[in-house]
């Protein structure tokens, strides 16, 4: 049994990770800034703490007495959020910095940092037919303004704490994680959840229109949450010293993503394109040669399979067809 701290445990990925680590018999401490009744999932038997990890003293309180740290804590959301909240996203640098200091001082054995594909050079993401971003494509540095620069700087912090102090640090660059128990409204949601919500609401209201940000030809890859949780744990236990992609290589356009959701819903919508809305880079995909080399594995759950599960869960939340699912999500 390990004693593991999950920072950002009240969020989407952190909630799933906490649940999985506890299920395996580990002693888990879960920490998040949000009040407990706003956590996406609360796992029974876990030491749940509400702490602002931007503060140095709170990081020491969270880390003390534990063996490993998974840092998934950040102020972030989908493209609409990160384009309009650059300063807030960059302040998250305090979380990782103070957690690294506390981990060094308190003898943490292993440290995991959740980075992002937003660290990649924007000039390498202008083609919708992007062949895939290799780990080396983060340099020369031209990261997503705000959020991407914070992630890239924090990667370097992990590297230098490893080099200078011997802290075993692992870094994964997440590519668009989606699935049940994620944000689907309120402004922080990402494309898969947002499109599910829009299609569901169109079916309920009878207004068979959908607004798509951009022209719909921009491309991305989307990783289902189960693949993400497996990848996090495998990377943490590995000997991978450099930052590594953690994402699906199944690239689709936003228009194709809408096609998939319409097929699941059983109806089509009239599409309206908002060319002035936040839309991010033109093309982004995960190139998985390195993760296959190190782990003999890569995220492989098909997008259609994951979207069916995600759509069903979001529909339950919106329509209230399964009250038990709503109570599990909000834990109130």
Catalytic (active-site) positions: 147
Q: 């060319």: which residue's tokens?
A: 275
What 3-state DSSP class applies to 62?
helix
Strand partners, 210: 271
C-beta of residue 134 within 8 angstroms of C-beta of residue 287? yes
Count of Cβ atoms closer than 10 Å to residue 55 Cβ: 13
Rounded Cα gap, residues 310 and 244, in angstroms: 26
Backbone angles phi, psi at 295, to 5 degrees: -110, -15
Q: What is the DSSP string of 242-310?
A: S-EEES---EEEHHHHHHHHHHHHT---EEEEETTS----SB--B--HHHHHHHS------HHHHHHHH
DSSP class of residue 138?
Answer: G
Dihedral sign, CA of 151, 157, 162, 166?
Answer: negative
Contacts of the segment 22-30: beta carbons below 8 A, 24+ positions apart? 22/46, 25/1, 26/1, 26/2, 27/1, 27/2, 27/3, 28/4, 29/3, 29/4, 29/5, 29/62, 29/66, 30/6
What 3-state DSSP class applies to 106?
helix
């Amino acid at each position: 049994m390990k004693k593991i701290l999950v920072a950002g445990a009240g969020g989407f990925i952190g909630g799933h990770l906490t649940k999985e680590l506890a299920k395996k018999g580990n002693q888990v401490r879960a920490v998040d800034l949000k009040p407990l009744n706003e956590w996406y999932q609360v796992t029974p038997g876990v030491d749940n703490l509400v702490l602002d990890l931007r503060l140095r003293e709170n990081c020491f309180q969270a880390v003390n007495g534990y063996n490993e740290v998974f840092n998934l804590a950040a102020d972030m959301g989908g493209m609409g959020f990160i384009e309009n909240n650059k300063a807030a996203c960059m302040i998250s640098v305090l979380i990782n910095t103070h957690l690294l200091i506390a981990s060094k001082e308190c003898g943490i054995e292993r440290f995991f940092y959740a980075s992002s594909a937003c660290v990649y050079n924007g000039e390498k993401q202008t083609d919708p037919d992007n062949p895939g971003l290799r780990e080396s494509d983060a340099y020369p540095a031209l990261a997503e303004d705000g959020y991407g620069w914070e992630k890239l700087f924090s990667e370097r912090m992990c590297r230098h704490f490893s080099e200078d102090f011997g802290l075993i640090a692992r870094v994964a660059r997440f590519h668009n994680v989606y699935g049940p128990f994620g944000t689907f409204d309120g402004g922080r949601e990402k494309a898969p959840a947002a499109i599910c919500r829009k299609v569901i609401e169109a079916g309920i209201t009878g207004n068979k229109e959908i607004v798509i940000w951009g022209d719909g030809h921009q491309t991305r890859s989307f990783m289902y949450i189960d693949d993400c949780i497996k990848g996090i744990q495998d990377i943490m236990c590995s000997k991978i010293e450099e930052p590594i992609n953690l994402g699906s290589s199944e690239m689709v356009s936003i228009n194709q993503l809408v096609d998939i959701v319409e097929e699941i819903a059983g109806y089509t919508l009239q599409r309206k394109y908002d060319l002035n809305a936040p839309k991010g880079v033109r093309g982004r995909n995960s190139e998985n040669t390195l993760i296959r080399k190190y782990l003999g594995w890569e995220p492989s759950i098909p997008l259609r399979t994951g979207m069916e599960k995600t759509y069903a869960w979001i529909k339950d939340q919106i329509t209230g067809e399964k009250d038990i699912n709503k109570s599990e999500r909000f834990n109130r």
